[in-house]
Amino acid sequence: MRSIKFRGKRTHDSKWTYGWLVKESDGTAWISRHYHKGEWEQVDPETVGQLAGLEADDIRDHPDSHPVHQDIYEDDIVFIIDIGEQRTSRVTFEDGMFCVDYWENKEPLCNFTEEMRVFVIGNVHDNPELNSELLEQE
């Protein structure tokens, strides 16, 4: 069973926090690492993204080392290598699935094969310049 986890930037210091999410009717968002302990941190609702349930290769991997994997979240910017082709794309949640813009199509992440390499290179909140590059790429 996959873990349903969220991340968001805390309102008091703009650092990322991860865990369970509660969104109130007024739009306020809270995330807690320890649900039962009541340790909730207010986060900017615009930065909240859900864990996609897949892992990317770490961009810092070296061929001689053991692979390091990194969680993929909604609004991450990923670099995809597939049979010699390369593409940078944003992870979105649409129609009940996590997708990337993939050569003219919205491709569900669950369709990716083991031959494909996916690297998280940033996210739209910390790296707005990457989002601008995506718009130029279209």
| pTM score | 0.82
Q: Report the C-alpha gap between 75 and 93 in whole angstroms.
A: 9
Mean pLDDT of 111-136: 80
Predicted confidence at residue 83, as pLDDT, reads 79
Confidence band for 137, pLDDT divided at 50, 70 and 90: low
Residue 65 pLDDT > 60, yes or no? no
Residue 130 pLDDT > 50, yes or no? yes
Q: For residues 67 and 113, is the Cβ–Cβ distance under 8 A?
A: no
Distances from the Cα of 18 to the Cα of 40, 110, 116, angstroms: 11, 22, 27
- Tell me the average pLDDT of the chain: 82
Residue 120 pLDDT > 50, yes or no? yes
Task: Give me the torsion for CA of 32, 13, 58, 47, rounded to 10°.
Answer: 70
Predicted confidence at residue 12, as pLDDT, reads 96
Mean pLDDT of 53-68: 61
Q: For residues 93 and 137, is the Cβ–Cβ distance under 8 A?
A: no
Alpha-helical regions (H) of 17-57: none
Q: Report the C-alpha gap between 51 and 11 in whole angstroms.
A: 20
Amino acid code (one letter) for 121? I
Mean pLDDT of 36-57: 87
